[in-house]
Structure 1
Amino acid sequence: MKREDPALVAQNALAGRVIGISASDSADLDRLGLTSRHIELAVGELTRALLLAGASVAYGGRLKPLGFTGLMVEELRRYATTRRSALVLYVAWPQHADLTAAELAEVRDLLGVSGRLMLLDPAGNDFRRARGATAGPSMDVGAAQAYTALRRRLVRDTDARVVLGGRLRDGAKPGVLEEVAFSVGSGQPVYIAGGFGGAATAVGARLSPDTFDWLPGDLPHGIAGSLVQQSLAECADEAKTADWSVASDGLGDADRRCLHATHRPGEVASLVVYGLARRFA
């Protein structure tokens, strides 16, 4: 299958679009001959390409430690100039309830004028602390409920989603899979960078098995877990109910197959931006 000739994406082709990124480490990196540095480079390159194309990037992550959030902030400080809300960080209640006002101020300083910090309450609504408050008020809520609310909010506020990696743990519902289920249920295009293994590869193989025929039979690690299988089934059910297709990504068959297998940061970034530009042209 021949890939299309590469095409340049017009400057600000994605202006006004908000693109969500779902990314975390994968337990399959060693098996694939990769390290966590490879997925970090991919997240950085992807963030940079989206910002340069005029999109805003939305991410639900941690503030302590910053992790992938820190990588995105670095790209923001390099490339977003003064464009407001170029990077929007959504923070679930369990991640910020115990942080002091000074700690939050430090994050806002890092974001500068181009970034925005969105603190959420347990229901996923905007949460504003009283001036000078050192911590949020006590709320009796389970962490799982708060993270689910965060993911629903992320999908509601974005136009498309890119997924990379994601651990599959026994006894835990994978957050990446829940974000994909909400995304396909809302009809969003989803871009699956499958070459890093993990939850992204698992859901890609379920929703687009023909483009994951390269996948070794023993991967992704943890896919046999009952909650993982339940989550994958929910993704498939949402896709069927919404009449969602992986082909809604604006990519041709050969380019989509490449995205679903590559671990090259530049290739991931260019294919995602190219597909988005065509999808929203």
Structure 2
Amino acid sequence: MNGETARTELLPADALKGKRLGISVSDSPDLDRLGLTETHFRMTLGELARTVVIAGGDLYYGGHLQPEGITAFLIDELHRYGRRDRPLKVCLAWTVHRRMSVKQIAEQNEFLGLFGEIHFLAPDGNRLDSPTAGAPQEAFPLEERATALTGLREYMTENSDARIVIGGKRAGFEGRMPGIVEEVLLSLERRQPVYLSGGFGGATLDIIRALRPDLSEWFPPQAGTPDADVRLIEGLSRISEVAKERDWNGFANGLTDDENRLLAASYRPSEVSAIVGKGLGRLLPEKANQA
């Protein structure tokens, strides 16, 4: 990209070996307002994946297996990096994989190959030894979908050491609150570090505004927009409450205040990945030495 800052050196090989990074990502409704495109968004996601995977870390992502989705994009990126020890863990909620046929599941396992593996989850979020046999189930009650998504997010949080967050829907979600909001909430409840990349707006910037309003002043809320979904408002309120209750807002992530401030506003792929890599490099090896 024109004007892109020079790429900093990546983390040393194996700097994140044995470390598991949850990645929370979904489309941002603010891209047009920011003058950005889906290409900018995906370039940043690709750079973040590259930083983690080349340094030996594993990525945990909860989503779906549609051809044009984030999972397929991440697999394409992994083909470029050469790691063949399945660094990508694709976690599927019960209501996602139960919609799939045995043939579809087999095709996706083959597609992931040596680059990733699928974790099939039960309705409560526990991992299943194998997907449930039987004809696909096409529809689920709203409450069952919400419960399964919460179980997915709890599983990912329990199996990760830190969380990287970018973008995020404010509407059109199925769970009890927007996925990114719930994932950050669970991370804060477990006192995990989070890396909030706010330059693409969306729910990530809303979370930053709830935790550190001073880091979101560069992008004021848009006047005249429809009222926010009450589940979003309640989720953000709960994030603020948990941060106070636990005395933990996730910003103890190996970055200085200035670096977190830059991460909260940058939209440059190499800059975002360099900042996150710097924080991971400082923080996670230290936590390993204390274990």
TM-score normalised over the length of structure 2 = 0.87
What per-residue deviation string (whole Å, max 9, x for no partner) do you get for residues 177-233 of structure 1?
A: 000000011011010010111100000111111221211231896674322111001
What per-residue deviation string (whole Å, max 9, x for no partner) do you get for residues 133-187 of structure 1?
A: 5547998761011001101111001000011111112786211100000001101
Local SS of the residue matching 1:142: helix
Verify: 1:124 aligned to 2:125, yes or no. Answer: yes
Task: Name the amino acid aligned to 2:248.
Answer: W
Local SS of the residue matching 2:233: helix
- 1:80 deviation in Å? 4.2
> Using a 3 Å threshold, how does the CA distance of structure 1 residues 275 and 86 change in structure 2: closer, same or farther?
same
**In structure 1, C-alpha distance between the alignment counterparts of 2:82 and 2:125, rounded to whole Å:** 27
Instruction: Return the match for 1:175 from 155, 179, 185.
Output: 179
**In structure 2, C-alpha distance between the alignment counterparts of 1:271 and 1:223, rounded to whole Å:** 34
State how 1:188-207 maps to structure 2 within 5 Å: 188-207=192-211
> Using a 3 Å threshold, how does the CA distance of structure 1 residues 106 and 252 change in structure 2: closer, same or farther?
same
State how 1:123-272 maps to structure 2 within 5 Å: 123-129=124-130, 133=134, 135=136, 142-169=144-171, 173-218=177-222, 224-272=228-276
Q: Where does residue 278 of structure 1 map in the other structure?
A: 282
Q: Where does residue 3 of structure 1 map in the other structure?
A: none
State how 1:40-189 maps to structure 2 within 5 Å: 40-83=42-85, 85-129=86-130, 133=134, 135=136, 142-169=144-171, 173-189=177-193
Local SS of the residue matching 1:31: helix
**In structure 1, C-alpha distance between the alignment counterparts of 2:197 and 2:227, rounded to whole Å:** 17
Local SS of the residue matching 2:59: strand
Report the RMSD for the aligned CA atoms in angstroms: 2.5
Is the CA contact (8 Å cut-off) linking 1:197 and 1:219 kept in structure 2?
A: no
- 1:240 deviation in Å? 1.7
> Using a 3 Å threshold, how does the CA distance of structure 1 residues 9 and 130 change in structure 2: closer, same or farther?
closer
Local SS of the residue matching 1:247: coil
Q: Where does residue 30 of structure 2 map in the other structure?
A: 28
Local SS of the residue matching 1:20: strand
> Sequence identity, in percent?
37
Q: Where does residue 16 of structure 2 map in the other structure?
A: 14
Task: Name the amino acid aligned to 2:15.
Answer: A
> Using a 3 Å threshold, how does the CA distance of structure 1 residues 138 and 39 change in structure 2: closer, same or farther?
closer
Task: Name the amino acid aligned to 1:93.
Answer: W
**In structure 1, C-alpha distance between the alignment counterparts of 2:192 and 2:241, rounded to whole Å:** 15
Gaps (5+ residues) in structure 1?
1-5
Q: Which moved more, 1:99-108 or 1:211-220?
A: 211-220
- 1:268 deviation in Å? 1.2
- 1:117 deviation in Å? 0.5
Is the CA contact (8 Å cut-off) linking 2:44 and 2:273 kept in structure 1?
A: yes
Gaps (5+ residues) in structure 2?
1-7, 286-291
Task: Name the amino acid aligned to 2:166.
Answer: L
Is the CA contact (8 Å cut-off) linking 2:11 and 2:51 kept in structure 1?
A: no
**In structure 2, C-alpha distance between the alignment counterparts of 1:131 and 1:156, rounded to whole Å:** 23
